[in-house]
A and B are shown apart, each in its own frame.
Chain A
Amino acid sequence: MTTTAGALADQLRHLLGPDRLLEGDLARNLYSHDGSIVGGDCGIVALPETTDEVAACMRMAHEAGVDVVPRGSGTGLTGGAVPLEGGLVISLARMREMGEVDVANSCMWVQPGVLNLDVSMAIAHLGLHYAPDPSSQQACSIGGNVGTNAGGPHCLAYGVTVQHVLGVEMVRPDGEVVILGGVAPDPPGYDLRGVVVGAEGTVGIVTRVLLRLTPLPPDVRTMLLDFLSVSDASAVVQAIIAAGVIPAALEMMDRNMTMAVEEFVHAGLPTDAAALLLVEVDGTAAEVGTATEVVERVARGHGVRTVRVAQDEEERALLWKARKTAFGAVARVKPSYYLHDCVVPRTRLVEVMEAIGEITEREGVMCLNVFHAGDGNLHPIIALDRSDPDETERAMRAGDQIVRACVAMGGTLSGEHGIGVEKRDYMPLVFDHDDLEAQACVRRAFDPDGRMNPDKVLPTGTRCGEVGLADTQVPEGTWI
């Protein structure tokens, strides 16, 4: 540890006490990982409990010139919360308070360490829920969701995190606390709130989040459709939406995935089907009735084998459990997995599924697919044993080819997991030099010293050129 780092540790220990500053090898090893296969190098870990403590930590890091990596629950899949070269990890996991529900305005402030699912559980009795529902919702934090602009099955109809965050309280890299956005819509000036959501911890630390709460739908129906070909299932996804129905959720699972899940959850999934679609429609009773008819009609026109409609809440919960534990079920196949979450235009689904099949077969790796089909957001999960270097190499190669295939089909790198370290060096596939430089400038506007979660999101070497007018050149009386 360098002297500055040592002095910073002393200050932080003084501020937080020895229990809330982790310096031991075990902790440092733990905090060098997240849900991805990226490994890093963790310096020290601070566990503040209030905004003031976060601000104090940030001021100290600022004065010491030490890099800061914000961390929520560490379920991220791109290495976003992984420190690469020491520095200070600030974990928000202990900031778990929820404010009062503002029923009249359908919103609520929560601290960033609150777990996603806990929000919906806490407000269900008011007939409300928090719509973004990542499959990891039992474990991931609201702060992490804000960091990654998380999605989930129900984001097809309801929209992703940024559409459900009205405002954020953020500690800036120098320790100043700002509130961006709020209950009153569209405050004057640029939408900085919109930039903070999805910035992957590179612009500041979010210490409170104003969540928009959504009424529970009056009626809902969940259906499981099974197909003998992946192409038929993909075509149905396209056809349902083309028929004018945007389901609340529209998820696909291929046979490999179905087998792994069924063994785990025993939901009565047909393991001989090539692909399953989990379709949920919600709204008024009349809307649900009409949408159900459309879904069934379209499916029958494309060779669906069976349509199973969840008969009660219990069966519905079971089907969703099957979907949401899918990543976990992969552990029954291989100890580890590697995945990308590219998005392709919905019209290219059939084609991309074929391409993924060919690529993984050619590389001789096992791929399990479970994904948000309705918005074309893929999750080809390559199961692997990382103690096998050859298999790991092949998995990486397959992943690389999948990303390139998606981009070639007009797709993009990530639909919800973010860029982190994992996809950072793919950014030039979708953005040119000027695009990346502009992004670097936006980032620098928030973090002039470049100490927030460095080496994430933008490829190494991307800089904000020295363009820029000094503050004094702004016409007098203007604020931008």
Chain B
Amino acid sequence: MDLRPAGRDELTGMLRAATADRRMLDIRGGGLHSRRGWPFTPDDVLHTGALAGVVDYEPDDMTITVEGGVTVGEVLRLAGERGQGWPQAPSAPAATVGGVLAAAAGGRRRLRFGPIRDSLLEVVVATGDGRIVKGGGRTVKSVTGYDLPRLLTGSLGTLGVIVQATLRLWPLPMAEQWFSARGEPAGMLEMARGLLADLHRPTAVIVGPGSLHACITGVPDDVVAPAGMVESPEPSGPGPGGDGPAGAHGGVVEIGVPPATLPAVARRLADDGRAFEAWMGTGICRAAVSAPDDVRVMRELAMLHDGHAQVIDGDDALRSDPFGPVPAGADIMRRIRASFDPAGILCPGRFAAAEAVPA
């Protein structure tokens, strides 16, 4: 069944009922990040799209408070009208704020602006048993209590439904431009290395198979085409070239490795003829996969460099081992989850261990 709560009270009522009846829920915003984690079959899908109110926007404080179902595009539009932006956001306008936070799905400007978790100041969630819990604070700086905003970022719907978020905005830059070049992978990687060494705080340096994209942000004098590159639009598109679903037959793995080892990872992916997008300097690389065996290969590659690999989009078959080894502190995570979702109805089983066989 599809549940579409129109407001907080209705939502908490639905959660209480689901807890009482032990009905398993999947939580869905824009649906762009739903194909994550261990596959499970929910009894109901709870859609957050109707929680779409803009609660408060104080441009002079550079903070905006929105409900979880508000889209990224809407936040960017409102902020843009006041000369502000949300530079950590993914380039997926249809994604919801709650969804991108729950998936920790930040955008390509991470090198300069940091991960998306750094932009979440206050969060309000509805827990599995229908309590409303707030954490963090709306001011741009706060160490008041335990950091629930960071805990919720990347929790993939397993701790609660994000009903409201206060985001930190930034002034739109005086100038910003994407540039690109095409060529052999080795040459592209060498150019990328040069950009990282020579530019002060580049916004993005992204290597793909046979391509290089870079974004420079700042004052007009600094935003000039690096040698060998030409102005080009921001990269976008599905799969490893974008933030959206990979299409019916493919999937995307996100590799995280120490940044200095990313060139080696990218070289390997290029040699193997894979579609990929390596965010140089950040240690993050998205690669296309089409079979469970590809996931294993990607994970081995990542682990060779002391990293990890997660499936961030893919059908059930691709997600038979979405995360790899159980992380340190799993018992702590389990207790936290138990307290937020006592009946275990929120996306149960989404975080699954490598060695387990799906029931």
A residues near B, CB below 8 A? 102, 104-106, 148-149, 151, 155, 159-160, 162-163, 178-180, 182-192, 194-195, 197-199, 215, 217-218, 238, 241-242, 244-246, 283-284, 286-287, 289-290, 343-347, 372, 375-377, 410-419, 423, 427, 430-432, 434-436, 438-439, 441-446, 448, 457-458, 464, 467-469, 471, 473-480
Residues of A within 8 A of B138 (CB): 345, 410, 412
Residues of A within 8 A of B137 (CB): 343, 412, 430
Residues of A within 8 A of B132 (CB): 434
**Contact between A477 and B357, CB atoms less than 8 A apart:** yes
Known contacts A284-B200, A434-B131, A478-B350; 5 additional CB pairs below 8 A are A148-B143, A162-B150, A178-B328, A187-B256, A416-B141
Name the residue of chain B whose CB is nearest to the CB of A150. Answer: B143
Name the residue of chain A whose CB is nearest to the CB of B327. Answer: A189
Residues of A within 8 A of B284 (CB): 185-186
B326 to chain A, nearest CB (A): 5
B38 located at the interface, meaning its Cβ lies under 8 Å from any Cβ of chain A in the complex = yes
Residues of A within 8 A of B260 (CB): 102, 104-105
Contact with A along B319-340 (1 / 0, CB 8 A): 0000110111111111111111
**Contact between B306 and A198, CB atoms less than 8 A apart:** no
Q: Would you list which residues of chain B between 265 and 304 have a CB under 8 Å from chain A?
A: 282-284, 302
Q: Among the interface residues A163, A241, A412, which one has the most CB atoms of the partner chain B within 10 A?
A: A412
Residues of A within 8 A of B357 (CB): 477
Name the residue of chain B whose CB is nearest to the CB of A149. Answer: B143
**Contact between A480 and B172, CB atoms less than 8 A apart:** no
Could you say which of A192, A286, A475, A478 contacts B218, with CB atoms under 8 Å apart?
Answer: A286
Instruction: Give Cα A114 to B209, complex, Å.
Output: 43
Instruction: Give Cα A96 to B281, complex, Å.
Output: 29
| Contact status of A194 and B218, CB under 8 A, knowing A416-B141, A469-B338 | no
Instruction: Give Cα A286 to B63, complex, Å.
Output: 28
| Contact status of A480 and B58, CB under 8 A, knowing A185-B282, A419-B145 | no
**Contact between B329 and A185, CB atoms less than 8 A apart:** no
Name the residue of chain A whose CB is nearest to the CB of B121. Answer: A412
Could you say which of A182, A242, A289, A479 contacts B60, with CB atoms under 8 Å apart?
Answer: A242
Residues of A within 8 A of B335 (CB): 441, 444-445, 448, 468
**Contact between B310 and A414, CB atoms less than 8 A apart:** no
Stretch of B47-55, B71-79, B152-160, B230-238 on the interface side: B152-160
Instruction: Give Cα A179 to B329, complex, Å.
Output: 8
Q: Among the interface residues A192, A439, A479, which one has the most CB atoms of the partner chain B within 10 A?
A: A479
Residues of B within 8 A of A244 (CB): 83, 171-172, 174
A95 to chain B, nearest CB (A): 21
B117 to chain A, nearest CB (A): 7
Q: Among the interface residues B135, B219, B254, which one has the most CB atoms of the partner chain A within 10 A?
A: B219
Of the A-B pairs whose beta carbons lie under 8 Å apart in the complex, a sample of 23, sorted by A's number, is A183-B258, A185-B115, A185-B256, A186-B104, A188-B323, A189-B327, A190-B333, A215-B201, A245-B171, A283-B218, A287-B219, A289-B219, A344-B139, A375-B141, A438-B133, A439-B148, A442-B336, A445-B332, A467-B339, A473-B344, A475-B349, A477-B356, A478-B348
**Contact between A438 and B60, CB atoms less than 8 A apart:** no
**Contact between A186 and B333, CB atoms less than 8 A apart:** no
Residues of B within 8 A of A427 (CB): 144-145
Instruction: Give Cα A162 to B148, complex, Å.
Output: 13
B118 located at the interface, meaning its Cβ lies under 8 Å from any Cβ of chain A in the complex = yes
**Contact between B135 and A195, CB atoms less than 8 A apart:** no
**Contact between A189 and B351, CB atoms less than 8 A apart:** yes
Instruction: Give Cα A376 to B62, complex, Å.
Output: 12
| Contact status of A442 and B146, CB under 8 A, knowing A347-B61, A434-B133, A468-B338 | yes
B134 located at the interface, meaning its Cβ lies under 8 Å from any Cβ of chain A in the complex = yes
B residues near A, CB below 8 A? 38, 58-63, 83, 104, 114-115, 117-118, 127, 129, 131-135, 137-148, 150-151, 153-155, 158-159, 170-172, 174, 200-201, 218-219, 221-222, 254, 256-260, 282-284, 302, 305-308, 310, 323-324, 326-340, 342-344, 348-353, 356-359
Residues of A within 8 A of B151 (CB): 190-191, 194-195, 442
Residues of B within 8 A of A423 (CB): 144
Name the residue of chain B whose CB is nearest to the CB of A468. Answer: B338
Instruction: Give Cα A283 to B143, complex, Å.
Output: 28
**Contact between A347 and B349, CB atoms less than 8 A apart:** no
Residues of B within 8 A of A106 (CB): 259
Could you say which of B139, B170, B201 contacts A343, with CB atoms under 8 Å apart?
Answer: B139
Instruction: Give Cα A104 to B357, complex, Å.
Output: 39
A79 to chain B, nearest CB (A): 15
Instruction: Give Cα A419 to B145, complex, Å.
Output: 7
Residues of B within 8 A of A245 (CB): 171
**Contact between A198 and B219, CB atoms less than 8 A apart:** no
**Contact between B141 and A188, CB atoms less than 8 A apart:** no
Residues of A within 8 A of B310 (CB): 188
What 4 A-B pairs are tightest by C-beta distance, nearest first? A477-B356, A194-B150, A441-B339, A104-B260
Could you say which of A194, A343, A477 contacts B349, with CB atoms under 8 Å apart?
Answer: A477
Residues of B within 8 A of A155 (CB): 141
Q: Among the interface residues A346, A372, A441, A475, which one has the most CB atoms of the partner chain B within 10 A?
A: A475
Residues of A within 8 A of B148 (CB): 438-439, 442
**Contact between B61 and A343, CB atoms less than 8 A apart:** no
Residues of B within 8 A of A289 (CB): 219
| Contact status of A430 and B144, CB under 8 A, knowing A473-B344, A479-B333, A480-B333 | yes
Name the residue of chain A whose CB is nearest to the CB of B125. Answer: A438
Could you say which of A186, A347, A439, A480 contacts B351, with CB atoms under 8 Å apart?
Answer: A480
**Contact between A468 and B339, CB atoms less than 8 A apart:** yes
| Contact status of A191 and B219, CB under 8 A, knowing A180-B329, A411-B139, A467-B339 | no
Could you say which of B58, B146, B329, B351 contacts A178, with CB atoms under 8 Å apart?
Answer: B329
Q: Among the interface residues B133, B145, B305, B352, which one has the most CB atoms of the partner chain A within 10 A?
A: B145
Residues of B within 8 A of A431 (CB): 134, 145
A156 to chain B, nearest CB (A): 9
Name the residue of chain B whose CB is nearest to the CB of A434. Answer: B131
